[in-house]
A and B are shown apart, each in its own frame.
Chain A
Amino acid sequence: EVQVVESGGGLVQPGRSLRLSCTTSGFTFGDYAMSWFRQSPGKGPEWLSVIRSKAYGESIEYAASVRGRFTISRDDSTSIAYLQMSYLKTEDTALYYCTRDIDRGSAANWGLGTLVTVS
């Protein structure tokens, strides 16, 4: 069974940093792209970033709202994806989700999310 578990969220002051982790199991991690999304209370999901598999050069993309502040990475040896968040703003407050992607970018498996509060 595919499992995706986000961790690392918490309360942080504006301008500070936080690193989120996405621990996975149940699939060959290195074969899949991994993405991060977030969802603010009462709003829809927002895509943030993707890191593709080694077969696709581990290419990376970011949403404009986080480009230059957030950094996605992956460790295929431990099946963990990361989201390093710097220069956090109050508007970054949200539930952050990690997903395993299939095909060009369908988010096939979501975790329960980890809550980040910037205040």
Chain B
Amino acid sequence: DIVMTQSPLSLSVTPGEPASISCRSSQSLLYSNGYNYLDWYLQKPGQSPQLLIYLASNRASGVPDRFSGSGSGTDFTLKISRVEAEDVGVYYCMQAVEIPRTFGPGTKVDIK
């Protein structure tokens, strides 16, 4: 199985400031079609996970443009350009290049 790691595991951010989360995979997530099958999800407190970014850099429907994803192969980054209070929760990366899909351990983001 592909092992996903994330750093940091927790992050405390001042509103209006940027934030960045790193995700690494034990194998390349670059598929033969040229796409990287890496997703980012946010699970807000008491809620279900929601898709933020798919194919490493595509924002899901309704996701604010302050969220952006980048990276290729085994190294990926989620950036929040200006953190807002509603962005608190646990961020997970997940690989979808092969079965079983596997998640990173999560990064807990809170507001200073």
Report A's interface with B, CB cutoff 8 A. 44-47, 50, 61, 63-64, 97, 102-113
Q: How far is the CA of A19 from the CA of B43 in the complex (A)?
A: 26
Are B48 and A106 interface neighbours, CB within 8 A? no
B100 to A, closest residue via Cβ: A63
Known: A44-B92, A45-B92. A106 touches B103 (CB 8 A): no
Which of B39, B92, B99, B101 has the largest number of chain A CB atoms within 10 A? Answer: B101
What is the interface of chain B, defined by CB distance below 8 A to chain A?
A: 31, 35, 37, 39, 41, 43, 48-51, 54-55, 60-61, 90, 92, 94, 96-97, 99-106
- A contact residues around B48 at 8 Å (CB): 97, 110-113
Q: Which one of B60, B92, B100 has the highest number of Cβ atoms from chain A below 10 Å of its Cβ?
A: B100
Closest Cβ of chain B to A69, distance in Å, is 15
Q: For A64, what are the chain B residues with a Cβ–Cβ distance below 8 Å?
A: 100
Q: How many pairs of residues, A versus B, come closer than 8 Å at their CB atoms? A: 63
A64 to B102, CA, bound (A): 12
Across the interface, do A107 and B39 meet the contact criterion of CB distance under 8 Å? yes
Tell whether, in the assembled complex, residue B99 and residue A44 are in contact, meaning their CB atoms are under 8 Å apart.
no
17 additional A-B pairs beyond A63-B100, A104-B31, beta carbons within 8 Å, are A44-B90, A44-B103, A44-B106, A45-B92, A45-B103, A47-B94, A47-B101, A97-B48, A102-B54, A103-B37, A104-B35, A105-B96, A106-B51, A110-B50, A110-B51, A111-B48, A112-B48
Chain A CB within 10 A, most for which of B54, B55, B102: B54
Bound state CA distance, A63 and B99, in angstroms? 8
**A107-B49 contact in complex given A44-B103, A61-B99, A64-B100, C-beta closer than 8 Å:** yes
Q: Judging by beta carbons under 8 Å apart, are A103 and B54 in contact?
A: yes
Closest chain B residue to A112, Cβ basis: B48
Which of B35, B39, B90 has the most A CB atoms < 10 Å from its CB? B39
* B55:A47 contact, CB within 8 angstroms: no
Closest 9 CB pairs of A and B: A105-B96, A106-B54, A47-B101, A110-B48, A61-B99, A63-B100, A106-B39, A44-B103, A44-B106
Residue numbers in B under 8 Å from A110 (CB-CB)? 48-51
A98 to chain B, nearest CB (A): 10
